[in-house]
Amino acid sequence: MGKKSKKFVLCDLCEEQCDLGDSEYGDCGVMLNEGGELAGIGIAPDKKVKCELCPKECELANLERGTCGVRYNAGGELRTLVYGKACALHIDPMEKKPMFHFLPGTPIFSVAAPGCNLSCKFCQNWQISQKNPEELINTDAPPQFIVDSALKEGCRSIAYTYTEPVIFYEYAYETAKLASENGLRNVMVTAGYINEKPLRELCRFIDGANVDIKAFDDRFYREICDGSLAPVLRALEVMNEEKVLIEITNLILPGLNDDMAKISKMSRWIAETLGEETPMHFSRFSPEYQMLNLPPTPTETLETAARVAKDAGLKHVYVGNMRSPEFETTYCPACGAVLIERSGFRIVSNNLQNGTCHKCGKSIHGVWS
Amino acid sequence: MREKHTRSMVMTDRINSRYRRIFLAALLALTAGAFSGSYVKKLFVSRKVKKGALPGRKAMFFKSGI
């Protein structure tokens, strides 16, 4: 924190990036260069802080940031640098999240703030997730602005997505709360790497979540993502208990997590723990970030994984980032009737009748209205 | 006949020279100021102490004084 030169200190706590001469204050009027050391008024240098938001539980010395790069210790008080700072704002089709069992065919207002608590080498959004806030151009978009914009654009829901909503927790929490009060639904697209207490608190306002299971393998999490599997599985159990509609995504990387035995094991766990109607998405990898050496996932691998998951008991299995009419369609798990036909992110036909099968009347798992 | 260089003329030359210097210095200062407005602003604004204006906003879920 604060790169030292002989006299000047660069304060990189916020986007201003003040280069401070000796005894000079930054634009905030709080941080200053005190004899070549970055210091702050009213900041006690010896107070450590433990962040209890995610399982990494970073212990931070004064002015130190967590591994997420967005939360820091300000003299014994943990502060977030990304509250109301959106690095991406967009209106997406719901199917892009992907959420196939949640208000199909509706637009969803999507928001992201910089950073992530994992560092997956294959990250598809690394340009914003693997950066500190000051490295990006961020828009001031407080919760009220997000909710007003979503309503103005005719969206029925807001997604906290693209990066990791866990680490812009306060921003997502207050936006979701305000959105709920205004009749909007909230969707979280996350890796689920969060502690139980903050997750339960957030779930009060979250209606749906697409959670990444990167692999059903702790070693993969440790070596490729700098995380671990157990907290993700626990987060899924908590979300299920809190009645959040869960959809799972598994990005398949050729040679790294395409072992069909593990995919079968993961699918069985999902079916037994979260329910066999939990939608499962297998996504195709395309070379990104630090995994440019790998080829894109063969389409056959994804279709095989989808069949393995169905054999393991899951009723709604889809593939993504590729075209496959068979695995883009929602079928009735009871009679096999075509319920929702999709082409990419477009809904071709929706035969659901008040969330039930138009042929046999079976209630289909999802949020449909 | 060669013009006599009087004391008053010398003074006039000096004054002209001083005004020219002042004018040039002012021009230089204004030009520099225009190009470094942000720095000048920073110089004056940043030295005002605003209590409680720490970067960012108080986060949730942490334990202090460990």
Whether B61 is covered by a domain: the verdict is no
Number of domains in chain B: 1
Tell me, letter by letter, the H, E, C secondary structure of A150-181: HHHCCCCEEEECCCCCCCCHHHHHHHHHHHHH
- The answer to whether the bond into A98 is cis (omega within 30° of 0) is yes
Which is nearest to A246 in space by CA: A284, A199, A286, A285? A199
Q: Domains in chain A, start-ordered, CATH in brackets?
A: 1-42 (no CATH), 85-331 (3.20.20.70)
C-alpha span between A15 and A72 (Å, rounded):
14
Residues of A within 8 A of B65 (CB-CB) are 47-48, 76
- Cβ–Cβ of A78/B57 closer than 8 Å? no
Residue B12: which domain range?
7-45
- Cβ–Cβ of B46/A27 closer than 8 Å? yes
Residue tagged 């602003």 (tokens): B41
C-alpha span between A245 and A210 (Å, rounded):
8
- Average pLDDT of chain B? 69
Whether B18 is covered by a domain: the verdict is yes
Is A70 in contact with A81 (CB distance < 8 Å)? Answer: yes
- pLDDT tens digits along A149-169: 999 999 999 999 999 999 999
Whether B17 is covered by a domain: the verdict is yes
Residues of B within 8 A of A83 (CB-CB) are 56-57
C-alpha span between A268 and A191 (Å, rounded):
20
Residue of B nearest to A58 (CA): B62
Whether B64 is covered by a domain: the verdict is no
Whether B11 is covered by a domain: the verdict is yes
Which residues lie closer than 8 Å to A120 by C-beta, 6 or more apart? A214, A224, A225, A226, A289
Q: Residue B51 has what pLDDT?
A: 46
User: Tens of pLDDT along chain A (369 residues)?
Assistant: 555 445 788 888 877 788 888 888 887 777 888 888 888 766 667 789 999 999 999 999 888 899 999 999 988 889 999 999 999 999 999 999 999 999 999 999 999 999 999 999 999 999 999 999 988 999 999 999 999 999 999 999 999 999 999 999 999 999 999 999 999 999 999 999 999 999 999 999 999 999 999 999 999 999 999 999 999 999 999 999 999 999 999 999 999 999 999 999 999 999 999 999 999 999 999 999 999 999 999 999 999 999 999 999 999 999 999 999 999 999 999 999 999 999 999 999 999 999 999 999 999 999 999
Question: Nearest C-alpha of chain B: how many angstroms from A289?
Answer: 29
Which is nearest to A350 in space by CA: A227, A210, A358? A358
Whether B37 is covered by a domain: the verdict is yes
- Cβ–Cβ of B57/A79 closer than 8 Å? yes
| Residue A239, φ and ψ in degrees, nearest 5 | -60, -40
Residues of B within 8 A of A16 (CB-CB) are 55
Which element (helix H / strand E) includes A269? helix A260-273
Is A85 in contact with A167 (CB distance < 8 Å)? Answer: no
Residues of A within 8 A of B56 (CB-CB) are 13-14, 72, 74, 79-83
C-alpha span between B63 and A269 (Å, rounded):
34
Chain B residues at the A interface, defined by Cβ less than 8 Å, are 42, 45-66
Which is nearest to A114 in space by CA: A128, A104, A95? A128
- Cβ–Cβ of A27/B66 closer than 8 Å? no
C-alpha span between A284 and A298 (Å, rounded):
8
Q: Residue A72 has what pLDDT?
A: 92
A57: left (phi over 0), alpha (psi -120 to 50) or beta: left
Q: Residue B15 has what pLDDT?
A: 61
Task: Please return the burial class of A336, using the count of CB atoms within 10 Å of its CB with bins 0-12, 13-18 and 19+.
Answer: exposed
Residues of B within 8 A of A26 (CB-CB) are 46
Identity of the amino acid at A130: Q
- Cβ–Cβ of A30/B49 closer than 8 Å? yes
Q: Residue B47 has what pLDDT?
A: 45
Q: Residue B46 has what pLDDT?
A: 45
- Cβ–Cβ of B49/A29 closer than 8 Å? yes
A115: left (phi over 0), alpha (psi -120 to 50) or beta: left
- β partners of residue A190: A211
Q: Residue B40 has what pLDDT?
A: 54
Size of interface A-B (CB pairs under 8 A): 105
| Per-residue pLDDT at B56 exceeds 70 | yes
Instruction: Write out the two tokens for B21.
Output: 């210097």
Q: Residue A241 has what pLDDT?
A: 97
Residue of A nearest to B61 (CA): A52
Helix axes A196-203, A169-181, angle to 10 degrees: 20
- Cβ–Cβ of B56/A79 closer than 8 Å? yes
Mutating which of B62, B63, B64, B66 best tests the A interface, going by the most A Cβ atoms within 10 A? B62
Is B55 in contact with A79 (CB distance < 8 Å)? Answer: yes
Which residues lie closer than 8 Å to A251 by C-beta, 6 or more apart? A122, A124, A212, A214, A257, A283, A284, A285
